[in-house]
Amino acid sequence: MAERTCETCGAKNDVDARFCATCDAYLGWDVGRSTLGGDALTGTIPRVVGTVPTGMAATGAPEASGAAPASGTATDAWAVDGSGAVTEPVITIPAATTPGSQTPAGATSGGTATDPAPTDPAPTAAAPTAAAPTAAGEPEPPYRQPSRFDPPDVDVATPEVTVAPDDPARVELSIENTSTIVDGYVIEAVEPPAWLEVTHPDTHLMPGERRTVPVSLSMRPGVLVLAQRLTVTFVVRSMEDPRLTVDAGVHVTVPPRGPRISLEARPTLIRLEDSGSGSLSLRLDNRGANYPQTFGLSGSDPESVVRFAFTPEVVEVPAGAMVEVAVTFAAPQPAPGQQLNRQLSLSATNDEGPITAIVTLVQHTAPAPVDQPIRVRLQPSTLRLADAIDADFDVHIDNRGGHSGVTVALAGNDPEHRLAFAFAPARFLAVPGHITRAHGRVRSNLPPKGTTATHPFTVVASDGTTDVEASGVLEISSSAAAITTAELQVEPPKLNVGTRRDGRFAVIVDNRRGAEPLHVTFSARSEDGLARATFAPPQLAVGPGAVGQAQLSVSSPHPPANQVGVRRLEVEATDGMQSLSAVAELTQTAPNRRGPASRWLVIVGAILVAIGALSPWFEGLPPLLPFVEWIRELLAMSSLTVGAQVVEPPLRLLLLVLAVMMIFGLAGKAGGLTRKSAILVVLLSAGFLIFLAITTFVPALTLGLPIIWVGALLGYIGGVLARPRT
């Protein structure tokens, strides 16, 4: 369903609506004035080039016509100087209302108002107004003594009026004086539009008198009032007490009036020399109408060969304004050296019919010029390649001396027949007066590594009858093999692994000076052939300008005892044809196996000494533990002397301490404490036996003392092995 958009508030309305349902703005409801083929026209307001003074709406409210000026606000009017040019917008401010015209508190819009508090402290009594007769059967209202000052009772007899320039509107207000004195009333419009004039006769009424007062609404002369619908609020104010007011509202309609627009083309005569396009302007004058008009623009010629473009194609002409629309057109040119006249019809159309303006178009073309032959140039003409087989260049076809297009085909050839050519495009039109450029590509095979080859060639541009050539040279060079500029390094160059069998090196392939990728395979061997080498990865690819790295793991047997072995490794990287080499050294030391044997012998010897110190030494002699029980039984034995009984327990304890000292002797570098402790163990245990032999007798031995001596012997041997070799 078609809709009409209000230009003032943007609300959607029916296509045949007269006024906006939201803001009462005029929508141009007359049939045909804003439709084409029955469909609503939605136009654009172009550049405004002239206006007439228009009546403005009330202060702070937009014009209700819906045809706001180009500034977009209803309170802006376009000022026009004497030449018709548009100047800056002028703000029109309506006349200020009379002070005190605002509705007081308690007033209502329905024509009644509450009574304000009387200001006279002693009002005089007024004669009561005769009561109006009541209908039969209805009870009479109770008598109310009117106060001295009461607001009037106002009724609007004509709530809808229409105002025209030559036909003022008559609003009838029924006013009743409800006060007890003779009072006059002033009727004023609240914030009326600037174009509205309000007049009324004298309104002095007797107490209780009701009179119909005609209020005349007319337009100010010399002002174009836009079609609109608005509500005018009147204030009826008491002359005796200006505080007593009553509001009354009237709907005022300004109908659309005025002729259709006039259409003018500028200029009406257009001359084109060697051109097929031109422009003009259309002026649509709506300054005589108070409503906007919308038209669709079109153009035609008798031959229907001219194409027109309007900006915009559908134009809305605001009320009281003249707008200008830019028109461009394109027409076929006549033959060279001839003249052609055409009549162009420009129309502004809606359902009321078209309005037409005629423009005369005169086209003339110069005689056909003499064409110069095309020229061909290569850019660049010398092509240099390094390690590449394709070279690009541009072919410039110079047709600046020609006046017509030339279709040319490109081809390339070389005397050695070693090159291949390609062009994009291979066939094209050389535009007259310009240099047309095509893209060319030539391909050749690489020469042997480290050499350069030169190939001359020509590019031929042919139009089917004439060939034009341009010469060029291709120089192509091939870089040396990447392995010739690469370097092989082993990090670190010398590696000392101590007593270990395995070592690891980093093998670095430096191809930063190479122009091609380098693919190498690694290998390594030692001078004596005993070392085993493995690479991770065994093969490596290194890009040009890059550095690659692999890991070399070497396993080598230990050198002879007490010797240091140095094995020289030769690392090689080859690409299958050439190779790179580097040298690495692996240093090893023979492992010292005396250290672990020394530690184990000392530990085992100390344990045996401790076990022997806690075991029985003689037959019938109890073990040392538990100590208290052993002391008791030891004192009860009669086979040994008292001296032997006293010496043996401390001796056992001392042997335990010496066993611990044998182990502590491992912390030293030479094992001296271990050896000394072992010797003391033997001496003390043997001395104890000598002591027994001197004092009494030596009982039969059991396993305790032999274990001590074996442990001391092992500890001593371990201490000897702990000494470093000289």
The ranges assigned to domains in the chain are 153-254, 375-477, 482-589, 594-722
Average pLDDT, integer, range 678-700: 77
C-alpha distances (whole Å) from 208 to each of 145, 237, 239, 564 are 12, 16, 16, 143
153-254 is classed CATH 3.10.450.50: no
Number of Cα atoms under 13 Å in the Cβ half of residue 457: 28
303/394 Cα distance (integer angstroms): 45
CA distance 316 to 320: 12
How many Cβ atoms sit within 10 Å of the Cβ of residue 108? 11
Strands (E) across 511-648 are located at: 518-526, 532-536, 539-542, 547-555, 564-574, 579-589
CA–CA dist 517, 482 (Å, integer): 7
Structure-block tokens of residue 45 = 């307001």
Q: CA–CA separation, 632 vs 649, rounded Å? A: 12
- Beta strands 169-176; 210-219: pairing state: antiparallel
How large is the average pLDDT for residues 446-466? Answer: 89
| b/e map 387-402, b = 16+ CB within 10 Å | eeeebebebebbbeeb
The predicted pLDDT at position 186 comes to 92
Q: Does domain 375-477 have CATH number 1.10.3470.10?
A: no
pLDDT tens column, 313-361: 999 999 889 999 999 999 999 988 899 999 999 999 988 889 999 999 9
> Is 706's pLDDT higher than 90?
no
For range 559-581, the mean pLDDT? 83
Write out pLDDT tens, residues 570-579: 889 998 888 8
Within 10 A of 673 (CB to CB), how many other CB atoms are there? 18
Highest mean predicted confidence (pLDDT) among 125-129, 383-387, 647-651 = 383-387
Q: How confident is the model at residue 305 (pLDDT cuts 50, 70, 90)?
A: very high
Q: Are 227 and 65 in contact (CB under 8 A)?
A: yes
Tell me the three state secondary structure of residue 209.
coil
**pLDDT surpassing 60 at residue 262:** yes
Token pair in block for residue 61: 């409210």
Q: Which residues contact 499 (CB under 8 A, 6 or more apart)?
A: 558, 588, 589, 590, 591, 592
Q: What is the pLDDT of residues 592-603, one digit of tens each?
A: 666 677 778 778
pLDDT computed for residue 227 by the predictor: 86
Instruction: Name the phi and psi angles at 178, rounded to 5.
Output: -90, 0
pLDDT digits (tens, 9 = 90+) for 355-382: 999 999 999 998 877 778 889 999 999 9
**pTM score, whole prediction:** 0.41
> What topology is assigned to 482-589 in CATH?
Immunoglobulin-like (2.60.40)
